[in-house]
Chain A
Amino acid sequence: MEKFDVVIIGSGPGGYIAAIRAGQLGLKTALVEKDKELGGTCLNIGCIPSKALLTSSDHFMFAKKEAEKHGVMFDGVHVDLRKMQQRKDKVVKTFTSGVRALMKTNKVTTFEGFGTIAAPGKVSVKSSDGKTQELETKNIVIATGSAPVELPFAKFDGKTIVSSTEALCFTEPPKKLLVIGAGAIGLELGSVWNRLGSEVTMLEFLPRIAVGFDLELSNLLQRSLTAQGITFHLETKVSAVKLTNGHATVTATKGGEEMKFDADKVLVSVGRRPFSEGVCAEKVGVEFDDRKRIKVDKNFRTNIQGIYAIGDVTAGPMLAHKAEDEGIACMEIIAGKSGHVNYDAIAGIIYTNPELAGVGLTEDQAKEKGIDYRIGKFPFRANSRALCNEDVDGMVKFVADAKTDRVLGAHILQHAASELIAEAVSVIEFGGSSEDIGRTCHSHPTLSEAVREAALNVEKRALHILNR
């Protein structure tokens, strides 16, 4: 039997990136994936297809509502949803087959089947035809990701009560879509179907949307999405979902008052849970925390020698890029080099329009930690390029240490926030200050000038607004 240096279970962004890095480092590597396609949730039923639909539906909104402001007139703008979905599928296919090619070029052996840890150093792969194969390896990396959380009173049926997986594949826009949970996934898919014609209502248990992001910007996002036609009910607790003839009646309470909602589809997007069942980590003695996440040290080692874990199945934000960076660092550590992930410099993004992006501390977190901080803000309505683009919704906000001026957090609400945030991530990674950004020449006219202006506003010397 051939012996591997490392066997990675799960081919999502954590697993497949780890496999590439392992290949680069000359490790004899195997990648085990239970599904037919590589790429895991992110590529197949997560980040990638949702972004494909978000962009397509955003183009539709532009054609329908924005184009005429530019003097571009369309007649009879309409959506061919079948074509839109086909394009989405093509994007996914292109990406997953690209990953398969990358495995070949990096000399990674892929195994299709359900990977379980038989013992430290032993992974058995059970393929769909029932055959089992044993792999011997020096190291095992658990990268099995996460799965949507199910509500006990609203079990997924794949038709009316759905998770994000099905909500990406509707063949027609539901007339009434009810979304439970106003986090990144709910807001994004709610946006897609709102744009494509659904009447979207979002119920959120907490008094705000987009938990984890800066409150001020989250509130602004809520205002924008409300203007786009989405109805929000905050501090609303869903207690029952009743199905009759493929329709749902959702019962909820808000401030002691009972409310009822009719819906054709109910999207449950209340979070994701680590997906670790079946991998048998517990059988070989791997420790879990109280939230069923695999416990690892800062070198991604579990308590069992030779078994590592990365990504959503461990603690920390459930983000593809966090998993990727952990995968890279983990392989470098296994190869005897030093690998490191800076958790203070990992951005979170919601791809609505405007997009909401944030990295580092929010203003509330800085306050809670008792940090002496300063804020710098700049609205896009004072930015030249945003005006040219007719895209002035949103702002940039910095949280900087009052004494050292170090950038502690950056938050952007804008159509292109996901791209703009990268500058702030780099500066945080390098321990830079708001003045560092303020003293860096930004091209004109660009949206990035607003980032610089917000940084300048920390020291109250932004140029295109009254500094307060």
Chain B
Amino acid sequence: MSIEVKIPAVGESISSGVVSVWHKKSGDFVNPGDALFTLETEKVSTEIVAENAGVLEAKAAEGQEVKIGEVVAIIDDSKVPEEIPPAEKKATIGEKKKQPIPPETKAPVASKQKSTGAEVLSPAVRRIVEEEHLEPAKISGTGKDGRLTKGDVLAAHPEEEKEDRDRQAEPGTERFIRKKMSPLRRKIAAQLVMAQQTAAILTTFNECDMSAIQELRAKSQEGFTKKNGIKLGLMSFFIKAAVEALKAVPVVNGRIEEDDFIQNNFYDIGVAVGTERGLIVPIVRDADKKSFAELELDIAGYAVKAREGKLKIEDLQGGTFTISNGGVYGSLLSTPILNPPQSGILGMHKIMPRPVAIDKKVEVRPMMYLALSYDHRAVDGKEAVTFLIKVKECIEDPKKLPLDF
């Protein structure tokens, strides 16, 4: 029997990804759990593993953009590896390709693959692809159901790239370099523009005095570390403060879907983490029910996974609110962009000793600016300001948080 390997469903804002590397080739025998290929989406790259044993037949090229649910490979479990001696293996594969694929497996594959735009080419597209040695799978199509049009392949013409290369070849003369953005970068770009165009994004600011938290951390650090095997960081305080504020102003924890507003009554908080590949946002689940130690362990776990490229798509989907800390890079103030379809994102910034008036006297305190970007379609200004004041109050007076250490 042939079993289809499909692109798994990922986050609500992700509809496609790119097959970046095949770890197994067509004709290879695979065992359950073997990594088949790496799927890159705009948020994460993840390895897709075989769920059953059999002979692999890849249906998507490396670099090809694939849609969620699309069949990218078929594993034929009627074949066992012992039957194919290594020496004959290649020949068998060659023959296998020529054999007509049984209709019951071919039909669904063919119908689902039409959206890739690289399967059947129009005559003009075929001519240009052949003459210019283009790889149709690497060009994204704008025609019906994603098919490639002549315009698409003309735009992907390597001649222009060659000209660019020629221009760059003269040392010291280049004033700019033009290069194609990676599919991932293009996706991120499209996602950000979509966020800006869909929501009515507005940002409100406040500042908070970090003295109380710094004091509390200094006091509790030793005991906390000894007990939990992890340091008490800043992030757990901000997650808890955000949860308190979301409980006080629930609308910020909701989202707009067409004409409806959906109120989330759970608190899955995305924590933006910078990695080599760009910004990713793993989700801390049920943050309201977790202890400070559990929150710190979650974040640390994600950081390790992110560094090793082992984050799974499910680690990134379904957040209800996001916290982004630009402060780690030294940002003093910023206006974060929403992570659709969420309605709010809290921006943390650099802690800086600044003079502030305390009881009419100037004192130098460790201060942090706070920013809340929100979808003004769902959230009123008063609600947004109230939310941010609530965060400020919890941070300045941590006793307002459910401290459990």
Contact = CB atoms under 8 A, between A and B. Distances in A.
B151 interface: yes
Interface in B135-176: 142-144, 147, 149-151, 154-155
B126 to A, nearest CB: 8
Contacts of B144: 429-431
B151 A436 contact: no
Contact of A436 (B150, B154, B155): B150
Interface stretch (A1-9, A243-251, A254-262, A402-410): A402-410
Residue among B124, B126, B154 facing the most chain A CB atoms (10 A cut-off): B124
Interface in B108-143: 122-127, 142-143
A405 B151 contact: yes
B127 A439 contact: yes
Contact of B127 (A406, A429, A435): A435
A435 B147 contact: no
A401 interface: yes
A404 B127 contact: no
Contacts of B125: 436
B143 A431 contact: yes
Nearest to B149: A431
A210 to B, nearest CB: 30
A85 interface: no
A440 interface: yes
Contacts, number: 53
A432 B151 contact: no
Given A404-B149, A432-B149, A433-B150, A439 B143 contact: no
Nearest to B121: A436
B150 A435 contact: yes
Contact of B151 (A430, A433, A440): A433
A139 to B, nearest CB: 16
B44 to A, nearest CB: 28
B124 A435 contact: yes
B401 to A, nearest CB: 45
Given A404-B154, A431-B142, A439 B147 contact: no
Contact of A433 (B124, B142, B147, B155): B124
A401 B124 CA distance: 14
A436 B124 contact: yes
A406 B150 contact: yes
B151 A439 contact: no
A430 B143 contact: yes
A329 to B, nearest CB: 15
A433 B127 contact: no
A445 B143 CA distance: 31
A303 to B, nearest CB: 13
Interface string A113-125: 0000000000000
Nearest to B125: A436
Contacts of B151: 401, 403-406, 431, 433
B390 to A, nearest CB: 37
Contacts of A438: 123-124
A431 B123 contact: no
Nearest to A405: B150
Contacts of A405: 124, 150-151, 154
Range of interface residues on B (Cβ < 8 Å):
10 to 19
B31 to A, nearest CB: 40
Contact of A404 (B122, B126, B147, B150): B150
Given A430-B147, A431-B147, A440 B154 contact: no
Interface string A373-404: 00000000000000000000000000001011
B160 to A, nearest CB: 13
Nearest to B155: A404
Contacts of A431: 142-144, 147, 149, 151
A404 B143 CA distance: 12
Given A429-B144, A431-B143, A439 B123 contact: yes
Contacts of A403: 151, 154
A432 B147 CA distance: 10
A406 to B, nearest CB: 6
A130 B154 CA distance: 66
A405 B144 CA distance: 16
Contacts of B147: 430-431
A440 to B, nearest CB: 6
Contacts of A432: 122, 124, 143, 149-150
Contacts of A439: 123-124, 126-127
Interface in B75-124: 122-124
A440 B143 contact: no
A440 B121 CA distance: 12
A401 B151 CA distance: 9
B144, B150, B155 pick with most chain A CB within 10 angstroms? B150
Nearest to A435: B124
Contacts of B154: 403-405
A430 B142 CA distance: 10
Contact of A435 (B123, B142, B143, B155): B123
B152 to A, nearest CB: 8
A429 B145 CA distance: 11
B187 to A, nearest CB: 22
A355 B155 CA distance: 38
Contacts of A404: 149-151, 154-155
Contacts of B142: 431
A427 to B, nearest CB: 9
A439 B150 CA distance: 12
Nearest to B259: A305
B260 to A, nearest CB: 13
Contacts of B123: 435-436, 438-440
Contacts of A436: 122-125, 150
B150 A430 contact: no
Nearest to B122: A436
Nearest to A429: B144
Interface in B320-355: none
B369 to A, nearest CB: 42
B149 A406 contact: yes
Interface string A413-437: 0000000000000000111110110
Contacts of A433: 122, 124, 149-151
Contacts of B127: 435, 439
A428 to B, nearest CB: 10
Nearest to A401: B151
B392 to A, nearest CB: 42
Nearest to B143: A431
B295 to A, nearest CB: 40
Contacts of A430: 122, 143-144, 147, 149
Contacts of B122: 430, 432-433, 436
A25 B180 CA distance: 45
A434 to B, nearest CB: 8
Contacts of A401: 151
A440 B125 CA distance: 12
A441 to B, nearest CB: 9
B67 to A, nearest CB: 14
Nearest to A400: B150
A329 B144 CA distance: 16
A406 B154 CA distance: 11
Q: A433, A438, A440 — which one has the most chain B CB atoms within 10 A of its CB?
A: A433
Smallest CB-CB A-B distances: 8 pairs: A404-B151, A439-B123, A435-B124, A433-B150, A431-B143, A431-B149, A436-B124, A436-B122
21 contacts: A403-B151, A404-B151, A405-B124, A405-B151, A430-B149, A431-B142, A431-B143, A432-B122, A432-B124, A433-B122, A433-B124, A433-B150, A433-B151, A435-B127, A435-B150, A436-B122, A436-B123, A438-B123, A439-B124, A439-B126, A440-B123
Given A404-B149, A435-B124, 5 more contacts: A406-B151, A430-B143, A438-B123, A439-B127, A440-B123
